[in-house]
Amino acid sequence: MLIHGFVRHTGVPFHAITTELEHNSVLRPLTTLEQDRALSLSVVPFAGNKVSLAAIRQVIQPETRLVVMTHGSNVLGSVQEIKPIAEYLYTNDIFFIVDGAQTAGHFPISLSDIPVGAFVFTGHKALFGIPGTGGFYIPDPDAIAITRQGGTGTDSQALTQPSDMPMRFETGTLNYPGIASLLAGLRFINTESLEEIERKGRDLTGYFIRELQHMPGITLYTTAPDLPVVSFNINSIDNHEAGFILVRAYNIITRTGLHCAPLVHERIDGRKGCIRASFSWFNTRDECRAAAEAVREVVESADPQISAD
Amino acid sequence: MKEYVLDEPLTDDFLKFLENFGTVRFLEQLRKPYFSFEKELFISIKGFVGDGNVEVRYKKEFQDLVGDYFYLLLYYYDQGERGISQLKGQEDSIRQRMKIRL
């Protein structure tokens, strides 16, 4: 909605920038618009699992009007330094959309200190809501043209979409059960405390990584993620097979494949995909231990040489 | 992808039968002994010995040609050596149709 709305608002083709870390929720609209010649696109590579301001500055052109970037990688678990990027882009009149789907709810984010054009969140990840909600913070709604029209439950005489907030972007019957669950999730976070949630995430992630780090036959794609996400491969078995075994034989649910982030996988595993374990407030150390033990059994079974050594 | 629920669990003997038609991988040092069967362009099967359900994937481009292949495996398994040669004959016919399509 934001990307298409910005394009419509701008009205003429321009240059946009995104990164190799992005989710398809960013890559697909940008690629589609590029194919439609509504914009030209530069994709900035990551280094050390992060995208730097310097790397972004290298691809900025006089026609650059938009940068869309993830706050946290759903594969590598790395959190990007968006504040200096936001400040630079703001100074240069480049609209900055930050995809906070992977970070909102994991740690405090002070948007009043970060001059973003928009910050996007989803309700069903670390905000503890059910699937089907999401939203964005946007200091200047007029920067985004209206791209959806429909009922708003207000101002029914108007035959065009109301332009004031929030009706400007909220169309149709809203997902009330989802919103109620999101509210419950936010209250839950306030009760438990964001700092404690962050601390526990780091503890579980660190524990799991320490267990895997010394296992032969494992490729770990990050050893110090900022988010409770650990991506890895078991060298002697396809990641989909490994995930199938972990869930069916051990009740350990992971996600396998490309995680809707194909460009990251192009860099880290040649687009074969990997296994991703994510840790929630509701996971325990015992569960992490059991997961690591299950991975060990798969490793040793898939490569008997390892268990023989 | 399809999940099949079987009347009886798959056995080690069925895995031996599968070896006549493709690549079988068997990992027994797991909480449940795991197997996979791959036949390029035809089918991929994953499951656990002793389980009554398996996950089956077909190549999308040839699903109409190979959609019944899993049933054929189960059917010809009961027929011993004769079943093996008959199924291989059917495979040849399917491959001919794949070649035309390719």
Backbone angles phi, psi at A82, to 5 degrees: -80, -20
- pLDDT at position B99, please? 87
Mean pLDDT of A111-132: 96
Contact status, residue A185 vs residue A209, Cβ threshold 8 Å:
no
Structural domains counted in chain B: 1
- Is the per-residue pLDDT at A309 higher than 90? no
**Cross-chain Cβ contact A300/B27 below 8 Å:** no
Contact status, residue A306 vs residue A245, Cβ threshold 8 Å:
no
Between chain A and chain B, the number of residue pairs with CB atoms below 8 A apart is 30
Closest A-chain CA to B25:
A302
CA–CA separation, A125 and A280 (whole Å): 9
pLDDT in tens, A211-268: 999 899 999 999 999 999 999 999 999 999 999 999 999 999 999 999 999 999 999 9
Q: Domain A193-308, what architecture?
A: Alpha-Beta Complex (3.90)
- pLDDT at position A308, please? 60
**Cross-chain Cβ contact A241/B46 below 8 Å:** yes
What distance in Å separates residue B33's CA from the closest CA in chain A? 9
Residue B18: count of CB within 10 angstroms of its CB: 21
How, if at all, do strands A14-19 and A64-70 pair? parallel
Contact status, residue A33 vs residue A15, Cβ threshold 8 Å:
no
C-alpha distance from residue A295 to each of A252, B25, B65 (Å): 9, 18, 37
What's chain A's average pLDDT?
96
Range of the domain at B93: 2-101
Contact status, residue A249 vs residue A291, Cβ threshold 8 Å:
no
**Length of chain A as a residue count:** 309
Nearest alpha carbon to residue A69 among A93, A91, A50: A50
Contact status, residue A162 vs residue A169, Cβ threshold 8 Å:
no
**Cross-chain Cβ contact B27/A301 below 8 Å:** yes
CA–CA separation, B54 and B2 (whole Å): 8
Q: Considering Cα of B81, then B7, then B36, then B30, what sign does the dihedral take?
A: negative
**Cross-chain Cβ contact A301/B36 below 8 Å:** no
Residue A235, token pair as written in the block: 């060298």
- pLDDT at position A219, please? 96
Mean pLDDT of A63-76: 98
- The CA angle A112-A114-A116, to the nearest 5 degrees, is 105
Chain A residues closer than 8 Å to B48 by CB: 248-249
For A2-189, CATH gives 3.40.640.10
What distance in Å separates residue A118's CA from the closest CA in chain B? 39
Name the percent of chain A lying above pLDDT 90.
96
Residue A160, token pair as written in the block: 């065009």
Answer whether B36 touches A (CB < 8 Å).
yes
What distance in Å separates residue B68's CA from the closest CA in chain A? 23
Domain ranges of chain A: 2-189, 193-308
Contact status, residue A20 vs residue A73, Cβ threshold 8 Å:
no
What distance in Å separates residue A248's CA from the closest CA in chain B? 9
pLDDT in tens, A34-58: 999 999 999 999 999 999 999 999 9
What distance in Å separates residue A113's CA from the closest CA in chain B? 48
**Cross-chain Cβ contact B31/A244 below 8 Å:** no
What's chain B's average pLDDT?
90
Residue A23, token pair as written in the block: 């989710």
Chain B residues closer than 8 Å to A294 by CB: 31
Chain A residues closer than 8 Å to B36 by CB: 241
Contact status, residue A245 vs residue B27, Cβ threshold 8 Å:
yes
Confidence of residue B60 (pLDDT cuts 50, 70, 90): confident
Mean pLDDT of A18-47: 98
Residue type, A69: M
**Cross-chain Cβ contact B27/A294 below 8 Å:** no
- Is the per-residue pLDDT at B79 higher than 70? yes
